[in-house]
Structure 1
């Protein structure tokens, strides 16, 4: 039997406050209770409360205002999960967005990758892993694969400042016709926890994506892992 991991006192306080923030308990002026009030409520020390609130601040959920107290942070950036575009096309947020390449490699497609991309086994595949950030705070980790037979030289055209979707459209004339996304849950590993600046085994939203063109050829496949406390997913359905 798998034993549950015991949470420290400050993690219990943090998670309770996080739930209350998410469910609108502090709607209105958005002000959290004072340290003494939280100590009394949870029966813990000031050090424990301060660590819990510091975690929330690091997560971008609260802001401290000198002489006024701690307040729920402004609305999180929103990502439209039913949109056609890539990350920078979809993100709605105040503040500068950026990308950081973690890995960019070219390998021969194994059987599983070849089948998923719809190419022959052994053909060159460009794998691109990037962290996407807002105000230098990591929001998500994107692991994408592209066929270099379909898009020769793509691996030489991408850097931290480049949108792959823009290159595909403008250089290769790609038209994004269909994007399928499957949404689930994953957890940070030792490596991804460092990249996303989160604790190990922290819950993430996982989006497995396949994009196709008008001929039903696969443009790319990707797995995006999103820090849920830093980014809101938005889905809109409209009547035809």
Structure 2
């Protein structure tokens, strides 16, 4: 039991915080999120028990559990029966599919392979500046790659990253398939959320040659802005997808 007078619901605060209007569990979540952002908790790490966290934050164990449940629902943490709560790792399959929504029309979903076509540094376009919050003096890194399922190319994509968030990216000799794991392990940037927009387009001659389809064939264009745990944009991605044998799948709740 907490050793303090109960405040009206929605105004109770975690230790050291000024009274606010957020529910207490949401304030506790914010404090725990800081531990992820600041690198105190790293991917794969076992978290302290709910009891220990409750003691540290001077709140009830139930409040801590609700905050952890919220973070687990957002795929930031993983609960392992009988073993505890861990910081989610980008290579976990359910984390991967949180950000990859293409599935074959027949058969089970699988994660695609990748082949990098080019990597370059350049000045940002107006769209890149707007989407990534960049200035005229900033530079970006662009990666173009083809992704395949069962050996068949299904999409070509362009990733744009702000150079100041990814120093020495151009020194990489190998860019792995799972770039979100690379961001996390090398630069301490964890992707916490992403916004996507879908649009039908016709394949350009260049994309058609890379994908092995006819120019003008319908493609699904997916534009994505990925954000870190502080909600700052860190990646702009344009994916042009052959949709003749695949579909975009999402569960609505």
TM class by shorter chain equals 0.5 to 0.7
- Is 1:219 the counterpart of 2:234? The answer is yes
The two structures have a TM-score, normalised by structure 2, of 0.55
Q: How many residue pairs align between the two structures? A: 157
Q: Matched residues in 2 for 1:113 and 1:204: separation?
A: 22
Given that residues 86 and 165 in structure 1 are in contact (C-alpha distance below 8 angstroms), is that contact kept between their aligned partners in structure 2? no
User: Aligned to 2:188, which of 166, 173, 189?
Assistant: 173
Distance 1:95 1:123, change over 3 A: closer
Deviation digits for residues 210-230 of structure 1 (CA, Å, limit 9, x no counterpart): 111122211101111111113
* Residue deviations 1:39-69 (CA, integer Å, cap 9, x gap): xxxxxxxxxxxxxxxxxxxxxxxxxxxxxxx
Q: What's the counterpart of residue 249 of structure 2? A: 234
SS at match of 2:134: coil
Aligned positions of 1:41-120 closer than 5 A? 84-85=98-99, 93=108, 97-120=112-135
Q: Deviations over 1:136-185 (max 9, x none)?
A: 21011111100110111223336364421110011122222221001110
Kept after mapping to 2: 8 A contact 1:98/1:161 = no
Q: Counterpart of 2:147?
A: 132
Pairing partner for 1:202 from 195, 210, 217: 217
Residues 144/103 of structure 1: CA separation in 2 closer, same or farther (3 Å cut): same
Displaced runs of 4 or more, over 6 A:
none
- Residues 10-54 of structure 1: CA deviation (Å, up to 9, x unaligned): xxxxxxxxxxxxxxxxxxxxxxxxxxxxxxxxxxxxxxxxxxxxx
1:151 pairs with 2:161: no
How far has the Cα of 1:94 moved from its partner?
7.1
- Alpha-carbon separation, structure 2, partners of 1:229 and 1:211: 27
Contact kept, 8 Å, 1:84 with 1:176, in 2: the verdict is no
SS of 2:164's partner is: coil
Q: Structure 2: 5+ residue runs without aligned partners?
A: 1-93
Give the Cα separation in 1 of the matches to 2:97 and 2:196. Answer: 10
What is the rounded CA distance, in whole Å, between the counterparts of 1:158 and 1:139 in structure 2?
25
CA distance in 2, matches of 1:166, 1:87: 18
How high is the TM-score relative to the length of structure 1? 0.58
